[in-house]
Amino acid sequence: MMREYRMLVGGAWVEAASGQRFETFNPYTGEAWATLPRGNADDADAAVQAAYGALKRGPWSKLTAAGRGALLRKLGDLMAENAEALARTEVRDNGKLYGEMGAQLRALPQFAYYYAGLADKIEGAVPPPDRDGFFTYTRREPVGVVVCIVPWNSPLALMASKVMPALAAGCTIVLKPSEFTSASALEFGELFEQAGFPPGVFNVVSGFGKEIGQPLVEHPRVAKIAFTGGEESGRRVNELAARHFKRVTLELGGKSPNIVFDDADIESAVNGAVAGIFAAAGQTCIAGSRLFLQDSIHDRFVERLVEVAGAAILGDPNSEETQIGPIATKPQYDKIIEYIAIAKGEGAFCALGGKASELGGQFIEPTIFTGVSPDMRIASEEVFGPILSVLRFRDEEEVVAMANDTTFGLAAGVWTQNIGRAFRMSASLEAGMVWINTYRAVGIGMPFGGMKHSGIGRENGIEGIEGYLETKSVWLNYDGETGNPFVMKIKG
């Protein structure tokens, strides 16, 4: 039995205006398991108008910051209560490991609680006026209607890091999940209703990037776009937004360096390198896809790496045993297979994997290429799959130059026991996040985002709410005179 989802617009569960639907697939079985409304510009308009109405009129517009916090706390509780069901949906729709999703969903309510607590601590300022008879202050106001566009690789987590601060700031939202993985976001919409958010504050629509995503970005009533996705779509969104001076937060791709010095704890570094690239089958923006090994440890490190990665268990994402699941979408699977051929064609040496798994379907073996040089495409382009490129280096200076020689700047890992080197490296690497003797550590309080082509702005932490606020300066004249030498004085 195919499940049929609907979209949440203005507090009602609706079909697409066109009446059309599309299928969503289980990447493990390859079978369609649900259908979704195929939204277009008409649905985009309806959702934005609902969000705009809720922003300007009605209970949300009058709610105090503490009131918004209380609703967010309720939402967090509901996320915790529904974690199991949401995790199962994500596994079915996206192929994510159940083990990983369980942990992620236990952490996700913290996004709601963190920003619930922050909602009533966003303060304006009272700068001293530069003239007599004036009182001057600033207000922090919600930026307006926010469109949140998220990709398929981690739908709920990427959505939470946008939606929670935006709501805490007082914005209203239209969420557009990826056409490949919309089910969890649509189920998430039910929790907003149960938590008691007024209709129109949170809307969720489904459909394709060009058909409904783009009209949302271009809609005149939308003030800000919070986007996570690929570099090309991010560029398009940024260009369209710029035309209308819309605010953007962009979380895009990466080709992150993971750097191991010869003084590192080798066993930890091997585990960090394996988790860095093969977690979520490499389908994460922070994947440590370029592994830099210092000359003197190169050979024995690769040997151990191949041993550990080669033992990874591929299989059913619902099984607790499984360490690497299927690739989430067929186009992504095809792209990864193509990059394997490109790497071989460029002369990289395949030390592990290098082919589709014998499990069939959308499984790809964990793959390690050594002898990679910086000029190869496999060393510079984001693959977004379980493919590791190994490069070698002589010393600190050389590896900093190589690591930074990329248009991306999302994350970087450094493995060393030398404290001075750790500090130097953290300052020299051009990346939004640097991990020393760890990889992939993330937490709600720490800003997340990239430099260069990896994005604009930061999510999470106190900084994560800034992008959803505007500052308004208020000048109040209390002495009766205009008080401003440049204002015309007209006496009748």
Contact residues: ligand TXE, CB under 6 A? 149-153, 176, 178-179, 208-210, 213-214, 217, 228-230, 233, 236-237, 251-253, 285, 332, 335, 382, 384
Of 90, 231, 251, 459, the catalytic one is 251
Burial 153-190 (b: 16+ CB within 10 A, else e): bbbbbbbbbbbbbbbbbbbbbbbbbbbbbbbbbbbbbe
What is the number of alpha carbons within 13 Å of residue 343 lying toward its C-beta? 32
Q: Do 150 and 159 meet the contact criterion of CB atoms below 8 Å apart?
A: yes
Distance of CA 238 to the CA centre of its chain: 16
Q: Which of 173, 174, 144, 199 is nearest to 43 (CA)?
A: 174
Minimum CB distance to ligand TXE smaller for 258 or for 329? 329
Least gap, CB of 279 to ligand TXE (angstroms): 13
Minimum CB distance to ligand TXE smaller for 284 or for 294? 284
Of 211, 285, 382, 466, the catalytic one is 285
Q: Do 388 and 289 meet the contact criterion of CB atoms below 8 Å apart?
A: yes
What is the DSSP secondary-structure string of 200-240?
TSEEE----IIIIIHHHHH-TTEEEEEEES-HHHHHHHHHH
Least gap, CB of 281 to ligand TXE (angstroms): 12
Least gap, CB of 176 to ligand TXE (angstroms): 6
Minimum CB distance to ligand TXE smaller for 164 or for 285? 285
Q: How far apart are CA 176 and CA 179, in angstroms?
A: 9
End-to-end CA distance of the chain: 80
Minimum CB distance to ligand TXE smaller for 168 or for 216? 216
Q: How far apart are CA 40 and CA 37, in angstroms?
A: 9
Minimum CB distance to ligand TXE smaller for 242 or for 401? 242
Return the SS3 of 45: helix
Q: Which of 5, 142, 168 is nearest to 72 (CA)?
A: 168
Residue with the shortest CB distance to ligand TXE:
230
Least gap, CB of 461 to ligand TXE (angstroms): 18
Q: How far apart are CA 364 and CA 366, in angstroms?
A: 6
Task: Identify whether 321 is a catalytic site residue.
Answer: no
Return the SS3 of 173: strand
Least gap, CB of 68 to ligand TXE (angstroms): 26
Minimum CB distance to ligand TXE smaller for 47 or for 119? 47
Task: Identify whether 90 is a catalytic site residue.
Answer: no
Least gap, CB of 250 to ligand TXE (angstroms): 9
* Catalytic site positions: 251, 285
